[in-house]
Homo-oligomer: A and B are copies of this chain.
Amino acid sequence: MSTSPTTNEREEGLAFQPKFDSSGLVTCVATDAATGDVLMVAHMNDEALRKTIESGEAWYFSRSRNALWRKGETSGHTQRVVEMRLDCDQDAVWIRVEQTGAACHTGRHSCFYRKIDAADGDTRLSFVDADKQFDPTKVYSK
Binding site for B on A (CB under 8 A): 11-16, 27, 29, 31, 35-38, 40-41, 53-54, 83-88, 92-94, 104-106, 108, 111-116, 118, 123-128
CA distance A13 to B16 in the complex (A): 41
Q: Answer whether A106 and B12 are a contact pair too, CB < 8 Å, given A84-B115, A86-B125, A114-B86.
A: yes
Identical copies of this chain, number: 2
Write 8 A-B pairs (CB below 8 A) sorted by A numbering: A11-B106, A13-B125, A15-B124, A16-B116, A27-B41, A85-B113, A85-B114, A87-B112
CB distance from A30 to the nearest CB of B (A): 10
Which chain B residue lies CB-closest to A8?
B106
CB distance from A46 to the nearest CB of B (A): 12
CA distance A77 to B58 in the complex (A): 33
Question: What residues of chain B lie closer than 8 Å to A93, measured between beta carbons?
Answer: 116
Contact B40 A87 (CB under 8 A): yes
Known: A12-B106, A54-B118, A86-B112. 11 other contacts (CB 8 A): A16-B123, A31-B36, A36-B36, A41-B94, A53-B116, A83-B115, A84-B116, A85-B114, A86-B114, A86-B116, A92-B111
